[in-house]
Structures are given as structure tokens and as C-alpha cells.
Amino acid sequence: MTNRFQSHILSSKGLFFARLLFVCWISFYTIFTFTNGANFVNYIRFFTNMSWIGQLIYMLTASFVSYQFNYMGKKVFSQKFMYFYDVMFACTSTVPVVVTIVYWTMLLNDFNSKTTSLGKFLAITPHATNLMMTLFEILLNRQILTKQGVVWPVLAVILYATMTVVLRVVGNYSWPYPFMRVFFEESPLWVTALFIVGFAVCVIIVYFAMYGLVQMREWAFSKKQVCEADIELGKNTVQQ
């Protein structure tokens, strides 16, 4: 239980302050966005923003865990809390990667349409830093992903799609992305169903790619520990 709250490379306190820095950055950017005229409903219509909120919730949770571990001496947390922690880690390990891929492959025209430095900054920042924070947590902490955890990012995507459909039908809001209008409104039902299944498969593929990275991380550091132990044993043998 204890190891998952630590890092293979950073000290426990270093991990805590890195996460705290991420919390401050996400909070600053979110406040900056709303002070520049963002409307709440329009804000949550975009998957990037929802993943940004998810990243904030995860980083707050992880910072709380790091603080309790380092400064309060708490080594064990409740089962319900750890379940929530695992769910958030599964989602934030996958959704920001999906968002980044979708933006730079399907929505590149949105970035090219930005004519001001502020517009480009607001477009790049959540994608670049969201991905960076995800890779930081994947590569530098000891939290693990499980095969059954794939259900959570898939569910997150389904809930988001459901929310956008409800906002469109009930609130008469426009589709946040052009491809959603095409697949959810202008296409036959079977095409819509095929799109949903295909997107879910993409999320699953990304999740297991992240799962593979976690497995490689644990394998690499276990090998490193074995090598260090062998070197130490060799030194002791020579001294004797």
C-alpha cells in the first residue's frame, strides 16, 4: 500500500510539491479562462475542459494523499477512498491522451483559426499541460493501472457524450465539435452507433497503451533494483 504513494525517482516530498504545483497551475488557468468571459455551460460542453476538471480533481486527491503520507504519517486510507483514487487515476491516465489525439488530428482547423496570441495560448495550454501531467503521473509515481480499470475512462466518455446530446436536445446548445454534429445529427443511426463503438475502442486502446507503460515502468525499476542489489552484493563479497 505504501509504495503506491511514492515515486521511483522523486522523493515523497518532491512528488507532493510537483503535484501541488500542478494544482496551482490548473486553478490559475481555469480562473483565467472564466475571467476572460467563459460561460459555465459553454465551458463544460468541451471535452478538453471536462478532462481539465478531471485532472484538477485527481491532482487535488493525489496532493491530499501525498500530504497525509509525508506530513501526517498516514500510510493506510479507507477502501472507498482508494477506490475513488484508482478510478480517477484510470480516467486521467487515458482521457487527456484521447483529447490530445482528437484535437491534433480532427480539430486542427480550430487551432489554425486562432488569430491572436491569447487564442493560441488558450488552445494549446490545456492540451499540452494536461498530457504532460498525465505522463508525469504514469512514469514517475508508483500508482498502478488494472485491466478492469478500462471501464472507467470508457464510462467517462459515454457520460460526456450523453451530456452534450442532452444539452443539444433540451438546451438547444450547438454541438461543441463539428464531427459530433455530423455523426449524431446528420448521419443514419447505424453510422452513429458505429462511431460510438469505434470511439470506445480507441479509448480502450489508449488505456491499454497507458497500462503497458505502467507495466514497463515497474519492470524497468525492478530490474534496476536487482542490478543495484547485485552490485552491492559483489562489493561485499570483494571486501570479505
Question: In sequence order, which residues have a C-beta less than 8 Å from that of residue 36 and are 6 or more positions away?
Answer: 118, 122
Residue 10 buriedness (CB in 10 A; 0-12 / 13-18 / 19+): middle
Question: What are the cell numbers at 116?
Answer: 491572436
CB 176 within 8 A of CB 46: yes
pLDDT 10s digit of each residue in the chain, 240 long?
Answer: 446 778 888 888 888 999 999 999 999 988 888 887 778 888 888 888 899 999 999 999 999 988 888 888 777 788 899 999 999 999 999 999 998 888 777 766 666 666 677 667 777 777 788 899 999 999 888 889 999 999 999 999 999 999 998 998 888 888 888 888 888 888 888 888 898 888 999 999 999 999 999 999 988 888 766 555 445 545 555 555
Report CA torsion sign: 12, 18, 21, 25: negative
| Location of C-alpha cell 460510438 | 196
